[in-house]
Amino acid sequence: MRSATPSFSTKERILGVAETLFARHGFAGASLRQVTAAAKVNLAAVNYHFGSKESLIEEVFRRRLDELNRHRLAELAAVQARADHALEDVLDAFIRPALEQSMDSAGGAAFVRVLARAYAEHDERLRKFLSDNYGHVLRDFAAAFARLLPDLDKEELYWRLDIVAGALTYAMADFGMIKRKSDVSERSHREQAAQHLVRFAAAGLRA
Amino acid sequence: MRSATPSFSTKERILGVAETLFARHGFAGASLRQVTAAAKVNLAAVNYHFGSKESLIEEVFRRRLDELNRHRLAELAAVQARADHALEDVLDAFIRPALEQSMDSAGGAAFVRVLARAYAEHDERLRKFLSDNYGHVLRDFAAAFARLLPDLDKEELYWRLDIVAGALTYAMADFGMIKRKSDVSERSHREQAAQHLVRFAAAGLRA
DNA sequence: CTAACATTCAAACGATCGTTTGACCCGGAC
DNA sequence: GTCCGGGTCAAACGATCGTTTGAATGTTAG
């Protein structure tokens, strides 16, 4: 069975449904009974395959973050290899991989919402887990920005990057109150969002 | 008893503690037992004074949002009365009242975190409640921005305002990963945040 | 076939949730 | 004094939570 239907195994079905429900109702708001019912698996399957609800949450992150971080650092390296790279290129290297992943798979769009949840939740264990995976990437990007903005002192730069990261998280999660037109596809909606955000953030960083 | 200790009545003590715990653990994460225990009132007091947990949540918002919206619109009117008002002035009229309120009372700082929670929560009833109180103000500000940016078409403006609102919510809630120095007071921390955000947002809107 | 293992299942565990109940306290009206 | 009504209290309600159990099931190897 493992090799016959690998993409629909119990484990992966739980992960996919959990991602969707965590995005919609939060980590505390989505119960294991809701998850297992939607995934059409037994309630005990979560504790059998993942050990606990918290381990399930971490696995939802790990599944996507590893790939996302890898792509971001790869694009950053590619950008920095060009001698004449601009601020917009570095911003694009940070934003675009998240955008791409959010459109790759069915659950990708849900994951960026889950990511935004993680910022809102103050759970210490979850924040540490994310810092271990995300903080390293942010530090590399901060160094890249620092080189492109030599006149900006470090503290001022960190302030602005903080705002950029917050705006990115917000925009990617589509938490805004202004709804997109219904005739604009999800893909072009997110591509426009990334494009606007890059220009907006670049102008703010240069201000 | 009502006139003897009005600022420490059971009702207000519940509201204050609920604000703090909702900010820290979310609406689903903070239980009424935690709230009543911290407020040193009986568990049944919440349902007696507010009717339900959901009504308590709404009351936590109403207590601060009425004043916040009033101040924002007053400052916007004052800014628009000046013929030479700039983009930064309008942004300041939006950001500063939230900043002031967050420092006025002990629970004010917690409230902006509660406000950010509201964006993360997808609860339909809560979003409608906020839209009724918040949406009107956002529309007025959007009109003010539109007058100051006549070359920007409406859709592009809405995109950027969406990002600004998201960055504001994020920054005000202090959800960033970059910690402030411990020797910088909370007040100057938030004033710097507002100042940076105004400059950043203005540059982004003009880009 | 049997033995061993991995997985699924219904059922129950104790804990905690929001809410309700009914007795109790107490200050003011009569 | 009696009565009344707002307020507080301990206790319990049923529902739901995450987790555990032990039997049933299916799958693989010898």
- pLDDT, residue A178, reads 52
Mean pLDDT of B45-62: 96
Q: Say if A135 is an interface residue toward chain B (CB within 8 Å).
A: yes
Tell me which residue in A175, A192, A203 faces B203 most closely, judged by beta carbons.
Answer: A203
- Which DSSP helix (H) or strand (E) runs through B15? helix B10-25
Mean pLDDT of B15-31: 93
How confident is chain A (207 residues) per 10-residue block, as mean pLDDT?
Answer: 52 94 91 96 96 95 92 96 95 90 78 83 81 86 95 88 80 62 68 83 88
Sign (positive/negative) of CA torsion B48, B52, B53, B55? negative
- pLDDT, residue B8, reads 80
**Chain B contact set for A153 (CB, 8 A):** none
**Predicted confidence (pLDDT) at residue B176 exceeds the cutoff of 70:** no
First and final CA of chain B: distance in angstroms? 58
CB < 7 A contacts with chain C (nucleic strand): A 2, 9-10, 41-45, 48-49; B 1, 30-34, 43-44, 46-47, 52-54
- pLDDT, residue A5, reads 36
Mutation for testing the A interface, residue in B162, B181, B197, B198 having most A CBs under 10 Å: B162
- On average, the pLDDT of chain B sits at 85
Using the beta-carbon criterion (under 8 Å), do A207 and B207 form an inter-chain contact?
A: no
Q: Say if A125 is an interface residue toward chain B (CB within 8 Å).
A: no
Give residues with Cβ within 8 angstroms of B93, minimum separation 6.
Answer: B72, B75, B76, B78, B79, B141
Residue A98: what residue type? A
Residue B199 tokens read as 């400059």
Give residues with Cβ within 8 angstroms of B188, minimum separation 6.
Answer: none
Distance CA B163, CA B169 (A): 10
Q: Do A103 and A186 meet the contact criterion of CB atoms below 8 Å apart?
A: yes
Tell me which residue in A161, A169, A207 faces B199 most closely, judged by beta carbons.
Answer: A207
Q: How many CA atoms lie within 13 A of A20 on its CB side?
A: 13
Residue A135 tokens read as 């903080």
**Predicted confidence (pLDDT) at residue B175 exceeds the cutoff of 70:** no
- pLDDT, residue B188, reads 77
- pLDDT, residue B91, reads 95
- pLDDT, residue B140, reads 94
- pLDDT, residue A176, reads 54
Distance CA A128, CA A134 (A): 10
Nucleotide with C1' nearest the B48 CA = D7
- pLDDT, residue B2, reads 36
- pLDDT, residue B6, reads 43
Mean pLDDT of B35-63: 96
Residue B60 tokens read as 């936590």
- pLDDT, residue B182, reads 59
Interatomic separation, CA of residue A6 and C1' of nucleotide C3, rounded (Å): 27
**Predicted confidence (pLDDT) at residue B5 exceeds the cutoff of 70:** no
- pLDDT, residue A6, reads 42
Q: Closest Cα partner for A111 from A73, A163, A59?
A: A59
Residue A36 CA to its chain's centroid (Å): 24
Interatomic separation, CA of residue B46 and C1' of nucleotide D17, rounded (Å): 22
Nucleotide with C1' nearest the A9 CA = C7
